[in-house]
Structures are given as C-alpha cells and as structure tokens.
Structure 1
Amino acid sequence: MTTTATLALNGEAITLKNMRVTISQQFPDKDQSGQTSATTKAEQGAKGKELRVNGEIPFKDAATLTRIFQLANATDAAGRRVVYRVANSVARAVNLREATFSGTLDAPQQDGRMSWAVTFTLTEYLSVPEKKEAAANGRKTSKMQTAAGAGGQAAAGEDADKMTWFEKKVLKPVNEALG
C-alpha cells in the first residue's frame, strides 16, 4: 500500500496510512423558550472550523509519530502555539488556511497490527467570522474616534456657523469657562 501525503503543515508533509480528514464547525445557540414549547433560539455566533485527522503510523516509522508530537507542542517566541499553514483538499474547499493544534493528540497502539492509530485536531486560526467581527468592531471604533475628534475641534475655535446646537450652547461655554 502506498502512502500519499494529503496533509501538509507549513509545507511539511504529514504521512499517515489510511488518512481520513473530517471538517466540522459549531454553530452554538441557547434555548430562549423557558418552560414553553417554543423553539426560539439565541444564536451565539459561528465558531472556527476544526479539521480532525485520523490515520495509522507503522511502528517502523516512529520518527513520524515523534515529529507530529513535536509539531503539536511547538511554540513561538512568546510561548503561544505555532500557527500552521494548512495544505489539504478538504481544508481548501472550506477556506481553512491557518490552524493550530487543539484538543487531544491520541496515538494508541492498534490491537493485532503493528501500528499506532493517530488522531488529532487542528482548529482554525482567525476564522472568517472572527475576522468579520474584528473588522466590524474596528469600523465602529474608528467612527467613534472621528466623531469625538470633530467635536473637540469645533469647540476649540471653529466658526459658529459650522457648530451644531449642542456644540454652541453646551460645549463652547464649558470650554470657555474652563479656560
């Protein structure tokens, strides 16, 4: 049986026999019906995708098992888990590009076979919903900063024609009183 690499992390092939890759994503919600029979739910966002990888490593390829554990335990200079660039057809189909190891990395010995059954999970790093949420929060923040900045400039000495009622009647007198 030939083994083809169907998964690579940062360009490094992960070779497992009989590899199976499963993608999943959670959409948590909370029941809002109380004691009634209603089916109302409160959405709690879309969580990042998870890539579950299962396969076998023969005992003679113990170096492969060692390398998977090294990749899973790798940290960057700040002590955070390493983010890997994922190359896999399933991951590509759902736009999962970067992931970190999460959950459990299992490698139990197979009964009657000279191999380990390896199972691990890669969780999406900066998922699309997370990026959208961050972008939305960034826009809200920049709008608030712009509005506050404009109000401060108007109260500091712009023409009375360009000031709003609130700036003329409230902010300007307060500003003048404070000196």
Structure 2
Amino acid sequence: MQTIVLALNGEAIPLKNLSVTPSMMFQDKDQSGQSSSTAVAEQGIKPKELRITGILPFTESKALTRLFALAEAKEGGNLKRYRVANMTAQAINFRIGTFTNSIDASKIEGKQAWQITFTLREHLSVSEKREARANGKVAAKKQGTAAGAGKNGKAGTGAQEEPEKLTWFEEKVLKPVNEMLADSE
C-alpha cells in the first residue's frame, strides 16, 4: 500500500520519489536610475508556487493520462482550481491552486518510467485577499447572518440588495480615512 503524499481535490497523484518545492516571488523595481544606489520600489508579493516533480512508471500510463486531463481541465472558461493536499503546501498555507507554465513527462534513461514535472500557482493568495480587501473590492467574510437572509432577517431577492447601512463610526471615521488613503495611491 502506498501512502498518498499529494492530492488534488481529494484525488491522489501517485508519483514516486515526490518532491514538492515551494517558491514565492517578491516583485520590486529598480529606482536607482544610473547611480549606484540600491533603492527599489516594492511592487508586492506574487502568489506562491509549488514545483512538483516525481516519477511515474510506464505501467501506470492511466495516471499520466489523468494528470494531463487535470492540468487542462477548465471551469467557467478558466483553468480549474484544485484544493491541494500536501504537507509542504499546508505548511506554507497554500490551499487552492491552478496548473501554470507547463507540465512535462520525459522518459528517464535506463528506467521504464517518466519524470513528471509541473507547477501549481496559488489562487487567491493571502496577499491577494488582503490587497482586494484594502481596495474595497471584497469585504471580509461576516458571520452571524443566515444564508439567504437579508439584514432584516427576510429572504433577499439576490440581485436587488439594499446598500449596507454604515454605523456612525464607520461613516464618520473609517469611510473618510479609507477614501483619503484611496486618493493618495
């Protein structure tokens, strides 16, 4: 019996000698011009990526076919997102990812097996969620109201939600500060 080390949406990926390498890119831009200054402008943290490599014997060609089908699967016109189950992914808080860049299956010399290599890119990373919330695009999840119930506890029509009433503190203090910060960017 083989221990499952990697699963996508609960489906085991049966690679042997599995290696999962996380990476995260810090985007910045050189601000020094022609001088010898080391000044840079931070441009944010990019989504985490998991570089996955492993070996798949020729006898398990159906697993290779399935892996390629997972990689090219679409959902709503975009690449399908997968819940990633792996110890390394869990350690870096990588929950949902999509296939990115490429997937390779090259024959290993002297063995009856393929060397499989692919990359998963994090979907809605913690930094993306934080940035979207700061820009006011997405509100933090609120708990306490029943699903489908409006502010008054009545079932909403869905498309015609009344704007949320702000508290005095939100309207008089937080909203002006938020607008001032948005204008300064």
Q: With the length of structure 1 as denominator, give the TM-score of the two structures.
A: 0.75
Root-mean-square deviation (Å): 1.9
Q: Name the amino acid aligned to 1:117.
A: Q
CA 19–139 in structure 1, closer or farther in 2 if over 3 Å, else same: closer
CA 126–140 in structure 1, closer or farther in 2 if over 3 Å, else same: closer
**Runs of 5+ in structure 2 lacking a partner?**
140-162, 165-185
Give the whole-Å Cα distance in 2 for the aligned partners of 1:54 and 1:133. Answer: 31
Q: With the length of structure 2 as denominator, give the TM-score of the two structures.
A: 0.72
> Deviations along 1:128-159, whole A, 9 cap, x unmatched?
11000110111799xxx99xxxxxxxxxxxxx
Helix, strand or coil: the match of 2:59? helix
Matched, 1:100 2:98: yes
Give the whole-Å Cα distance in 2 for the aligned partners of 1:4 and 1:47. Answer: 32
| 1:127 to partner: Cα distance | 0.6
In structure 2, the partner of 1:55 is 54
Matched, 1:33 2:17: no
Give the whole-Å Cα distance in 2 for the aligned partners of 1:80 and 1:67. Answer: 19
Partners of 1:3 and 1:16 within 8 A in 2 = no
In structure 1, the partner of 2:129 is 131
Partners of 2:132 and 2:138 within 8 A in 1 = no
Matched, 1:44 2:43: yes
| 1:4 to partner: Cα distance | 2.7
Q: Name the amino acid aligned to 1:102.
A: T
The 4+ residue runs of structure 1 with deviation greater than 3 A are: none
Bigger proportion of residues as strand? 2
Helix, strand or coil: the match of 2:80? coil
Bigger proportion of residues as helix? 1
Aligned-residue identity in percent: 53
Matched, 1:91 2:89: yes
Aligned residues: 141
Give the whole-Å Cα distance in 2 for the aligned partners of 1:139 and 1:103. Answer: 28
